[in-house]
A and B are shown apart, each in its own frame.
Chain A
Amino acid sequence: DAKTTQPNSMESNEEEPVHLPCNHSTISGTDYIHWYRQLPSQGPEYVIHGLTSNVNNRMASLAIAEDRKSSTLILHRATLRDAAVYYCILRDVMRGGATNKLIFGTGTLLAVQP
Chain B
Amino acid sequence: DTEVTQTPKHLVMGMTNKKSLKCEQHMGHRAMYWYKQKAKKPPELMFVYSYEKLSINESVPSRFSPECPNSSLLNLHLHALQPEDSALYLCASSQERLAGVNEQFFGPGTRLTVL
Contact = CB atoms under 8 A, between A and B. Distances in A.
A32 B4 CA distance: 24
A106 interface: yes
B42 A94 contact: no
Contact of A96 (B55, B92, B97): B97
A55 to B, nearest CB: 12
Interface residues of B, number: 31
A33 to B, nearest CB: 11
Interface stretch (A16-24, A41-49, A60-68): A41-49
Interface in B30-65: 31, 33, 41-45, 48-50, 55-56
**Size class of the contact patch on chain A:** 20 to 34
A98 B35 CA distance: 13
B45 A102 contact: yes
Contacts of B4: 43
Given A43-B108, A93-B100, A98 B55 contact: yes
Contacts of A32: 101
B56 A99 contact: yes
B67 interface: no
A7 interface: no
A98 B99 contact: no
A106 B42 CA distance: 6
B106 A43 contact: yes
A36 B42 CA distance: 11
A46 B103 contact: yes
A41 B109 CA distance: 8
B17 interface: no
Given A43-B109, A98-B49, A99-B56, A49 B101 contact: yes
Interface in B93-108: 94, 96-108
B50 A98 contact: yes
A29 to B, nearest CB: 14
Contacts of B41: 106
Instruction: Sort A-B residue pairs by CB-CB distance and give the 3 closest, nearest first.
Output: A43-B106, A98-B31, A104-B42
Interface of A: 32, 34, 36, 38, 41-46, 49, 85, 87, 91, 93-107
